[in-house]
Every structure is written in C-alpha cells, then in structure tokens.
Amino acid sequence: MKTRKLANLEVSAIGLGCMSMTSAYGPPGEKGAMIKLIRDAYERGVTMFDTAEAYGPFANESLLGEALQPIRDKVVIATKFGFDINMETGARTGGTNSRPGHIKAVAEAALRRLRTDRIDLFYQHRVDPAVPIEDVAGAVKDLMAQGKVKHWGMSEAAVATIRRAHAAQPLAAVQSEYSLFWRGLEEELLPALEELGIGFVPFSPLGAGFLTGKIDETTKFDATDFRNLVPRFTPEARKANMALVEVVKSVATQLGATPAQVALAWLLRQKPWIVPIPGTTKLHRLEENLGGAEIELSAANVMEIEKGLENFKVSGERLPAAVLKMTGL
C-alpha cells in the first residue's frame, strides 16, 4: 500500500472507516469477525483507522481498541469528540458539546476504550456554535502538550472556521463527505486546504455504497440503516441517480476494474493529500476497495467521467435536513 501525508502525519493512501461495524448501516457486525477484519486490513497495508465516540456510542472505539492493541505502534488511530453524549450512559441529546472540560473528558474516556496512551488524530466531529473555536483549539493544545493527542482535525466545518482553528493550533486534517456522488466542497474547501497545508479525509467516498453499483431503486435497507432517512436514497432518487453509476461503470469496464475502485481512484487523483476512508464489514469488499489505490486513471478516463456528468445533477439532499443544519457546508 502506498502512503500519503495529512500535513506531517503519514498514513496509508486508503484508510478504513469503522463506523459501519457497530452502527448506522444496519445491525452491528459480529465482534470477532470485525476484529479479524480490522487486523486483515492492517495485513493488507492499511495503517489509518477511523472511529468516534458517537459510533455506538462508545462501542466502535472499544472494538477498535481491542483489535489494534497487538499492533498499536504500527497504526494511526483517528477518533472524534464534539457531540453531547452522556459519559456514563451513552445517552445523546442530539446536540453538540465542545466545552474544553468535556473535550478533555472525552479524550480520557477514548484513551481507555482504545487501550492506548495517545490519540493520533483527534477530530472535532461537528462545530459547536456555543463554543469559540479558539477555545476548542486551546483544549486540544493542552492535550497535545500532555502527549495524549498527536494531531487534531475538524469534520464538516466551514472554511472560515477552519482558518480560525488552524491559526490557533495547526490542523493536520479535515474530514467531510466527498465523492463523485457529492462534490459540493470543490470550489471553496479544497483550495483552502491546499493553501493551508491541511490534509483531507473524505468520508462516504463511495457515496454510502451507491457508487459500488450494487444499489438501485429496488434495494431494501435494514430498518436500522440510516439511508432510509436520506433524501437521495429514496427509491425515486436512486432511480434518477443511476445515470451517475452508469458513467462510472463504463470507465470501470474499460479498465477491468469495479465501479468502487474507479470511484476511489478518482478521489485519489484529485490531490496527493486526500486519503479516503471507505468502510465495510466484508473482507472481499475491503480487498476490492484497497484495489482502488492500484488503479491509475488517465486524463482521458477523467475527461470521460467529467463529460458524462456535465449535465447530471444528483437527485436528493445528501443528509436529512436536521443533520445538514449541523454542518458548515
């Protein structure tokens, strides 16, 4: 596996998003199988693993901590703070909480669950409008001074807030949704990150599975799958959005690759400091995704994708309205 840098943090070119192992995409995976999958990812070259206190809550960090304990010093663990989650019960208010004292308490709890003495990359999961970002940066700076956090980042934040945060304490990475299925940050966010020297970690790099070509308007999701609530995943929207998948499939066929691999290769080609984190609970999908790092898209391939999509507009918002309100994008 090739490597890339998020600022000065070196990681595998493709990381592993672990959220789906315990939440959001249907029932949790079987614990033993998920631990094995995480270790299989490492054996195949993955060194960056993404989790958060909110995934569960808490269950995902505990799973990752157990899985990575034998190889802790060989991997990069990214986790997140910023939601208002009861530290004892895991109950959520639905709001944000980035008060400095809470950030530090979340860090301590994460360290215990992750079975480690430091967090390699600590993201603010969502910006808290009630707490100045300089205060957030100050709390993380304190944790860095204690050696408990090595690098910090932000998720789904507006450019103006990122600039303020970076001025207070340099950011290693920003994480937001980005794929051929949603490109709304290309005009403002990516140029700002390049200017500031901040790495970018796209989540949902396969459009929450849509770019794999395995989902159409007839697909039925589990009752606990968040995609049931997403406007662009209604049957009508999926039917309209298949035009995007057909363009990706065409290029994939030419290259002897899969649509997922082309979608990931397209992301990797955008900038050398982009590190996507596709998630999965299946070994064959993991291997397929990692194969995207080996696909070299030519200028003609990229032009074919762009030309095929020049009159295409994604049907449906990328997130429910209440969730979109919490983002800065």
Among this protein's residues, is 55 annotated catalytic?
Answer: yes
How do strand 83-85 and strand 92-96 relate by DSSP bridges? antiparallel
First to last CA, the chain: 31
To the nearest 10°, the Cα dihedral for 249, 250, 255, 256? 60
Query: Would you state the torsion angle of the CA atoms of residues 222, 227, 228, 233, taken in this order, to the nearest 10 degrees?
Result: -120
Choose the catalytic residue: 42, 55, 123, 178: 55
Where residue 110 falls (left for φ over 0; alpha for ψ -120 to 50; beta otherwise) is: alpha
Give just the sign of the alpha carbon dihedral 302, 308, 310, 316.
negative
Residue 234 pairs with which residues in a beta bridge?
none
- Residues with Cβ within 8 Å of residue 26, at least 6 apart in sequence: 221, 222, 224, 225
Say if residues 70 and 40 touch (Cβ distance below 8 Å).
Answer: no
User: How many angstroms separate the Cα of 135 from the Cα of each of 45, 100, 288?
Assistant: 37, 7, 42
Tokens of 325: 């309100």
Task: Report the distance separating Cα 127 and Cα 124, nearest Å.
Answer: 7
Question: Which of the residues are catalytic?
Answer: 55
